[in-house]
Amino acid sequence: MLPAMRIGVAREIKPQEYRVALTPAGARELVLRGHEVIVETGAGAGSAFPDADYEATGARIGPVDEVWAQAELLLKVKEPIAEEYSRLREGLTLFTYLHIAADEPLTRALLGSGVAAVAYETVETDDRRLPLLAPMSEVAGRLAAQAGAHYLEKPKGGRGLLLGGVAGVSHGKVVVIGGGIVGYNAAVIALGLGAQVTILERSVDRMRHLEEILHGRVSLVMSSSLQIEESVAGADVVIGAVLIPGALAPKLLTREMVAGMKDGAVFCDVAIDQGGCAETSHATTHDDPVYEVDGVIHYCVANMPGAVPITSTKALTNVTLPYVEAVADNGLGAAVAHNPALARGVNVLDGQITYEAVAEAHGLDYRPLGDVLAAPA
């Protein structure tokens, strides 16, 4: 193990972002491993973690300038925004959600600063799972079912129907398109609310798995244009949860299909962060989450987990902490050498783009991580 590392935790300043990248429980683990932890004043407040809870673990509370200037490893949730670019510097490893393929100014700021930038969203296991994205899909899926139930209420503009029904009154119908992490979690909560649930999937293997873990409590149907049209016409709530890795979401719901849905039905398009899976979808915010098209309420919030920062912070830090510990204990170079999933997270190192899709997106040069690490300092 290398000498102790100084780990900073920045306060998020992006509007509507209340998560924090390390909980007091995580801070204690790092302190117990001999590391120094500096948490920016108020960083945990939005997730109900006061400064005193961090101090009780042995972490230090400090102002923003100190945290960014002194940290060797800086933990964040969201990508740095323009006013933070000047804080990026050589010798700093930044670990956060970055999404830089869609953000050229940030890509150039990272390259010019000499920072090592590790992106949560591209940490990828050998079996192609994205462990640092999965918890946010779990949260979004569960929230989608709640949002569906909420906006079905008459005063919210919905049909005026209780998903669970009551004795003598039939249950509401929820149709989930895409049975991945979001879809499974949406189905679990919809079932819990008493709804009758159908999942449309196109992977037979995934359907077999869902059949097994949901013990036949949902209808599993092969996804096709005709099936989608028929299913959504009878639904009270439709949840869009498809993903085609690396691509925009397919427009599975045409405008005509939406028009064919019941008046006051709710459509939650969770895939909106990939462009949405209906022709009628456009992104909304928590301040103004819904709009109506042809009598169908559309809920299309692009950062759903932001609504529940206490849960989202804990879910995120549960999965990031092992990677943070690996980098803190071994240094970035040794940590990535032993952990291919973490290595895939490195997007920028020593002024070079080390993640091919990012270089392609901006027409910039790509250098494999191994080459950059092997280059003389």
Ligand X SMILES: NC(=O)c1ccc[n+]([C@@H]2O[C@H](COP(=O)([O-])OP(=O)(O)OC[C@H]3O[C@@H](n4cnc5c(N)ncnc54)[C@H](O)[C@@H]3O)[C@@H](O)[C@H]2O)c1
User: Which residue out of 51, 53, 99, 209 is catalytically annotated?
Assistant: 99
By beta-carbon proximity to ligand X, the closer residue of 7 and 253 is: 253
Residue 2 and residue 61 in contact, taking contact as beta carbons nearer than 8 Å: no
**Any contact of residue 200 with ligand X (CB under 6 A)?**
yes
Task: State the nearest-atom distance from the C-beta of 222 to ligand X, in Å.
Answer: 9
Near ligand X by CB under 6 A, which window of 84-92, 162-170, 266-274, 356-364?
A: 266-274
Structure-block tokens of residue 84: 């933070």
Residue 282 annotated among the catalytic residues of the structure: no
Task: State the nearest-atom distance from the C-beta of 228 to ligand X, in Å.
Answer: 8
| 65 burial level (CB within 10 Å; 0-12, 13-18, 19+) | exposed
Near ligand X by CB under 6 A, which window of 62-70, 174-182, 213-221, 327-335?
A: 174-182
User: How many CB atoms within 10 Å of residue 361?
Assistant: 16
Distance, C-alpha 91 to centroid of its chain: 27
**Any contact of residue 140 with ligand X (CB under 6 A)?**
yes
State the pairing for strand pair 93-96/73-75.
Answer: parallel
**Any contact of residue 131 with ligand X (CB under 6 A)?**
no
- Count of positions on this chain that bind ligand X (CB under 6 A): 32
Residues 242, 316, 341, 342: which binds ligand X (CB under 6 A)? 242
Question: How many angstroms separate the CA atoms of 163 and 130, rounded?
Answer: 32
Question: How many angstroms separate the CA atoms of 323 and 344, rounded?
Answer: 12
User: Which residue out of 171, 236, 273, 298 is catalytically annotated?
Assistant: 273
Residue 286 annotated among the catalytic residues of the structure: no
Nearest to 351, CA basis, from 123, 71, 108: 108
Near ligand X by CB under 6 A, which window of 45-53, 95-103, 110-118, 264-272?
A: 264-272
Positions 301 through 360 that interact with ligand X (CB under 6 A): 302-305
**Any contact of residue 148 with ligand X (CB under 6 A)?**
no
Task: State the nearest-atom distance from the C-beta of 201 to ligand X, in Å.
Answer: 5
By beta-carbon proximity to ligand X, the closer residue of 180 and 309 is: 180
Residue 172 and residue 165 in contact, taking contact as beta carbons nearer than 8 Å: yes
Distance, C-alpha 151 to centroid of its chain: 23
Strands (E), the chain: 6-9, 36-40, 60-62, 73-75, 93-96, 116-119, 173-177, 196-201, 219-222, 237-240, 266-269, 290-293, 296-299, 346-349, 352-353
**Any contact of residue 235 with ligand X (CB under 6 A)?**
no
Structure-block tokens of residue 372: 């950059």
Nearest to 45, CA basis, from 87, 13, 71: 13
By beta-carbon proximity to ligand X, the closer residue of 4 and 233 is: 233
**Any contact of residue 145 with ligand X (CB under 6 A)?**
no
Question: How many angstroms separate the CA atoms of 149 and 192, rounded?
Answer: 11
The two most distant CA atoms of the chain are separated, in Å, by 75
**Any contact of residue 274 with ligand X (CB under 6 A)?**
yes
User: Which residue's Cβ has the minimum distance to ligand X?
Assistant: 180
Near ligand X by CB under 6 A, which window of 1-9, 56-64, 156-164, 241-249?
A: 241-249
**Any contact of residue 244 with ligand X (CB under 6 A)?**
yes
**Any contact of residue 135 with ligand X (CB under 6 A)?**
no
**Any contact of residue 271 with ligand X (CB under 6 A)?**
yes
Near ligand X by CB under 6 A, which window of 62-70, 103-111, 173-181, 188-196?
A: 173-181
Residues 252, 253, 315, 369: which binds ligand X (CB under 6 A)? 252
Which residues lie below 8 Å from residue 140, measured CB to CB, with a gap of 6+? 182, 185, 270, 304, 305
* Packing angle, helices 309-330 and 24-32, rounded to 10: 10
Task: State the nearest-atom distance from the C-beta of 220 to ligand X, in Å.
Answer: 11
Q: Which residues are catalytic?
A: 99, 273
- Contact footprint for ligand X (CB under 6 A): 136-137, 140, 177-183, 200-203, 206, 223, 241-244, 249-250, 252, 270-274, 302-305
